[in-house]
């Protein structure tokens, strides 16, 4: 299964240079509700700690010890390019989930093929669930409980068509993310944003990485605007062009 990761130009350069993908703790996501199921009677505001809930501390610890890799199924989503692809100046990496180890149930608590986000208007609850400690979470835990912990998001985010993979990472509070190596062969294609070459042209100080030349071993596609619709298109691109 091919999955796609939108990145800034700097992030794309690091990904291709090191062949790494980044798992980030949910507490550092741009959505404060992410992976914060209701654990009982919630204190006013966005604080996930709940009054009188045995699960509240476990839920808080899980958000600080589990890393999530956010992916999507569409490399040509204009909103995703605007929000996560540096305003169409970054890139998208096409990753073979199997080759990258994202389907391994021993390594991942949630694998790519089981990581489809469920978009709802109601926040899920883990009240009544017997939550394990974060070090005990595995892919063998109750499926519905894992979904409530990691796979529910507000309907506001449905445009992302998100697929996610979750695994344990360093639980030190100061560690925000962890990078994991994948085989170079797992990266099947690289999409360059519709404004990628414009950004390079306007980079008078030469600070931006020229990934199409510095990583020419990869298969590149160049995105462009359709002349008749609001859609993005792509075409194969050779770095020698």
Which SS3 state, helix, strand or coil, does residue 163 take? Answer: strand
Burial of 19 (0-12, 13-18, 19+ CB in 10 A): middle
* CA gap 13, 36 in Å, rounded: 32
Question: Cα separation of 25 and 28, whole Å?
Answer: 6
Amino acid 170: pLDDT: 85
Residue 201: DSSP 8-state: H
- Write out pLDDT tens, residues 1-16: 999 999 999 999 999 9
Query: What gap in Å lies between CA 86 and CA 192, rounded to an integer?
Result: 11
Distance (Å) of CA 39 to CA 54, 133, 161, 191: 8, 14, 26, 40
Distance separating alpha carbons of residues 119 and 32, to the nearest angstrom: 15
Reported in sequence order, the residue ranges of 132-241 that DSSP labels E, i.e. its strands, are 152-154, 162-168, 177-181, 187-192, 220-225, 232-237
- The pair phi, psi for residue 205, each rounded to 5°, is -90, 0
Start-to-end Cα distance in the chain: 30
Q: How many domains does the chain have?
A: 1
The domain in which residue 164 lies consists of: 2-237
Provide the pLDDT for residue 241: 57
| pLDDT digits 0-9 by tens, 172-213 | 888 899 999 999 999 999 999 999 999 999 998 889 999 999
* Residue carrying structure tokens 């994991």: 180
What is residue 42's predicted lDDT score, i.e. its pLDDT?
46
Please state whether the predicted TM-score (pTM) of the whole model is above 0.85. yes
More confident residue, 21 or 205: 21
**Residue among 162, 132, 144, 138 nearest 31 (CA):** 162
């Amino acid at each position: 299964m091919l999955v796609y990761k939108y990145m800034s130009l700097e992030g794309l350069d690091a990904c291709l240079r090191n062949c790494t993908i980044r798992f980030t703790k949910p507490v550092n996501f741009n959505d404060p509700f992410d992976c914060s199921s209701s654990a009982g009677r919630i204190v006013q505001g966005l604080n996930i700690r709940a009054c009188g809930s045995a699960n509240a501390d476990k839920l808080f610890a899980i958000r600080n010890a589990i890393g999530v890799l956010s992916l999507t199924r569409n490399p040509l989503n204009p909103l995703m390019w605007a929000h996560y692809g540096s305003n169409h100046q970054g890139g998208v990496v096409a990753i073979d989930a199997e080759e990258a180890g994202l389907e391994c149930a021993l390594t991942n608590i949630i694998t790519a093929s089981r990581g489809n986000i469920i978009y709802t208007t109601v926040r899920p609850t883990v009240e009544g669930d017997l939550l394990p400690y974060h070090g005990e979470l595995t892919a063998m835990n109750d499926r519905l409980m894992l979904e409530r912990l990691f796979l529910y998001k507000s309907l506001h985010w449905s445009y992302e068509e998100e697929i996610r993979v979750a695994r344990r990472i360093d639980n030190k509070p100061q560690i925000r993310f962890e990078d994991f190596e994948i085989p170079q062969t797992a990266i099947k294609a690289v999409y360059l944003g519709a404004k990628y070459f414009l950004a390079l042209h306007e980079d008078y100080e030469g600070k931006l990485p020229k990934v199409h030349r510095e990583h020419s071993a990869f298969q590149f596609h160049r995105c462009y605007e359709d002349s008749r619709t609001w859609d993005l298109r792509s075409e194969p691109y050779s770095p020698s062009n």
